[in-house]
Each structure stands twice: as structure tokens, then as C-alpha cells.
Structure 1
């Protein structure tokens, strides 16, 4: 037998008892590029907001709950009434104050350090603060305190080894291969800590006179700088674009007009 040629029409769903309300379009809507159909002044009159200006609603005063209640007391010599508190006081009080345990806070040296994933040893950084701001330097390693150990090298842009916070550097996409560069273990936070001599007792004369202290690098610091510079320059020479890297590290970073750092790829 042949099948019926008429297509079967699907059954209509039963009409719901509660009709669904459609959300209408608001009177004032965005026409594009932040331009609205009506201005604020026009909407002020359309909504009749002038009716509600300086309209003060009366303050509703809530009755206070009574703390005491007056009770009648039998007996001729008891006064007849007595005021009783609704909330009774505690029957017993502790004789000694409870000891509050204050948990010991971690010292700053024990805090966990977080370093940005872009700050890998060998990355070329741009300094944003300090006396060497604007210079491009090479990241040697991340110290235990969370500070970055960087160097110019000194022979290229006169930036010696120094500690820098990661908040004041921009990490670029340029990186050096540091597998042959072995940073001495003594280059830690204690190595770069400034040594201050004890103040001598004031001699006779003006008590407010101050001697200007000038920092001079020690012979040990100069020798270590030469050793590290030699290894870093060797890593630069091993790079395929060594000529461009030498000029790149020696040039200062700066922004001209209509140059926006948040739109740049460093």
C-alpha cells in the first residue's frame, strides 16, 4: 500500500493560561557611537522629574521598645509597684579578662615572592625609574627578596649591576641565551646591601653640619662587574643579531608624540 501523500502537521501546543509579556523597547536608546535619542534635558521633562525635586518624605518615627516594665507587687509594705528590666543582666561575670590570642605575622623576608612570567634570565628590560631610567639592561637573575639583578652591561651603557623592583621595568621580547653565563653565588641581597658606618660623636662646632657622603664602588665590586660583563657580552656576540643588539642596548628608550606604550609590543 502507498503511504499517504499528505504531510503530517505537528500538533499545536496548548495555549498557556498566563500570557508572556514582551519587553518593549525603551524610549531613550543608543543610536550609535554613544549618541542617544533624547538628551538629558528632554528626558528630564518626559519623566516629569521636576515633580520630585526638593520633595521631602515625612520621617517615620518608630516607637522605641521599652527597656523596663512596671509590675504590681502584693503586700502593704512592699510599695505596691516595682520597675523590672525586660532583659535580665548576667548572673555571673568572669573575674579575669579572657586572653586574646594574636597570631604572629609573617616577616617580610618570609613572604612568598611572585615574579611575572615574562621576567626570565636573559630578558632585555627597560628601566622606568632611578638614575638609569630609560636604559635597556639584561636580567641576570631574580634574588631571594624578589628584586631583579640587572646589568647594562657597564661597557655598553654604563649601567652597573644593581637591584631593581619588577614594578619599575618593562620586559621586552628580546632574550639572550644565558646557558654559558654562570652568575657567581655571592651576588645576593647581602652583597648589594649598603654598608653604613656608625656615626661618630659630634665634635665641637656647629651641631647641624652634615658631611656629604659619596658612594664609591669597592675594588671587589669592580672586579665582579668585569667578570659578569665579559660573560654577558659573550652571550650578546653569540646572538645572530649581535650588531643590532649592541646598538639596541646602548640606545635610550623614549616616547614621541602620538606614541602610546599600552599599544606597543615591546
Structure 2
């Protein structure tokens, strides 16, 4: 079969990236799971504090949960966590009147680091540690002071929060009741 010059297709060498059209107009806020309430004891499943039991303080505007150890008990500071990264338990602390309105999302964001061009700049960056905002520290202390009497009022609650969750041989996570 003979191919004429008119039928040969010309394809561009580079592809143009054009954004796809979206009909989505607004993002709905994340709904809080029915098993998670203010004062619920949660088990963290991933991250730096995996296995620790924490107290849920509420849901932030971004949809993430605000939790704390309390820091004086198990060393978990104020922390943002996705709902999918926690396992709620049936244990609940009575935390009526907890005020988390002073907590800012900006406290948890890491500052953007600029690239070091020389070895001296790199070593200076390694020596400079991230400093927490004084508002963050004062909020942590105020929330711990609010939660500690509630924990002390329930027998063995301090020991429960201090212990880490771990599976042993033969235990199946999906068969457990929390």
C-alpha cells in the first residue's frame, strides 16, 4: 500500500500539559467519626508517637484531630493527627469546657528551609534547632493543667495513658474490642 504525503500524521515532539476541568466547587469539611468525641482516648497507629494513648481535644478547621498525651504523662505534646491514623477506644475522659480556640494551625507547620549553597551554611542550618512558639508552650501547659485533675480522678487512668499499645504473638487487631 502506498502512503501519500497528505496522509502522514505529524505528531508534536513535546506534550502540552493542560489542566483537566473540574466541576467541584467547594470542599466539604471532614466529618468526625461517630466513635471519636472530645475526651476520647485514642491509640496512635503511625508516626513518631505510634502506640501511645492520647486524649482527643477536638477537631481543627482543617479536619485533623487535635490530641495531647498529656505531655506530663507520656511525653506526647499537642499534635495534629488524621482520623484514619488513630484507633478510638471506649474510654472517655469528661472534658466538658476544654478550650482549644487559642490553638493555631500555624504552630504545627514547619518553616520552609532555603537550600544551603556552601558547606558553612549547611553546618549552620544543622546547628540551628527549631524553636517552639511561646504561645504553643503556654497552651500546652494550660491544657495539661486542665486535663491532669480529670486523669487523677479516675483510678489507673494515668498508668493506662502511660502504657504503650502493642500486639503480641497470637493477638489479632481486627478481633479486638476497644
Question: What is the TM-score of this pair, normalised by structure 2?
Answer: 0.77
Post-superposition offset of 1:157 = 0.1
Give the match's secondary structure for 2:164. coil
Question: Aligned partners of 1:264 and 1:103: how far apart in 2?
Answer: 42
Cα deviation code 1:68-105 (max 9, x no counterpart):
xxxxxxxxxxxxxxxxxxxxxxxxxxxxxxxxxx4554
The Cα of 1:164 is off from its aligned counterpart by: 0.4
Equivalent-residue separation in structure 1 for 2:140 and 2:129 (angstroms): 20
Q: Select the residue among 155, 159, 166 that pairs with 1:254.
A: 166
Give the deviation of 1:165 after TM superposition.
0.5
* Cα RMSD for the two superposed structures: 2.6
Distance 1:206 1:230 in 2: 45
Higher RCO (CA < 8 A, seq sep 6+): 2
User: How far, CA to CA, are the matches of 2:74 and 2:50 in structure 1?
Assistant: 12
Q: Per-residue displacement from partner, 1:222-251 (whole Å, max 9, x unpaired)?
A: 11111000111122234xxx2310000000
Aligned match for 2:56, one of 139, 151, 158: 139
What is the aligned residue count?
157
Conserved? CA contact 1:137–1:153, under 8 Å: yes
Q: Distance in 2 between matches of 1:201 and 1:249?
A: 42
- Per-residue CA deviations over 1:24-61 (Å, capped at 9, x if unaligned) read xxxxxxxxxxxxxxxxxxxxxxxxxxxxxxxxxxxxxx
Structure 2 regions of 5+ residues with no counterpart?
Answer: 1-20
Moved over 6 A (4+): none
Which has more helix, going by share of residues?
Answer: 2
Q: CA deviation at 1:113?
A: 1.2
Asked whether 1:218 is paired with 2:133, we answer yes
In the alignment, is residue 128 of structure 1 matched against residue 77 of structure 2?
A: no
2:157 aligns with one of 208, 231, 245: 245
Q: SS at the partner of 2:155?
A: helix
TM (norm. structure 1) is 0.53
Question: Matched residues in 2 for 1:206 and 1:192: separation?
Answer: 29
| Cα gap change, 1:243 to 1:206, in 2 (>3 Å) | same
Distance 1:233 1:105, change over 3 A: same
Structure 1 Cα separation of the partners of residues 39 and 157 of structure 2: 13
Contact 2:116 2:122 in 1 (8 A): no
Given that residues 134 and 254 in structure 1 are in contact (C-alpha distance below 8 angstroms), is that contact kept between their aligned partners in structure 2?
yes
Q: Distance in 1 between matches of 2:45 and 2:31?
A: 20
Task: Provide the residue aligned with 1:20 in structure 2.
Answer: none
Where does residue 156 of structure 1 map in the other structure? 73
Label 1:103 to 1:264 Cα distance change in 2 as closer, same or farther (>3 A).
closer
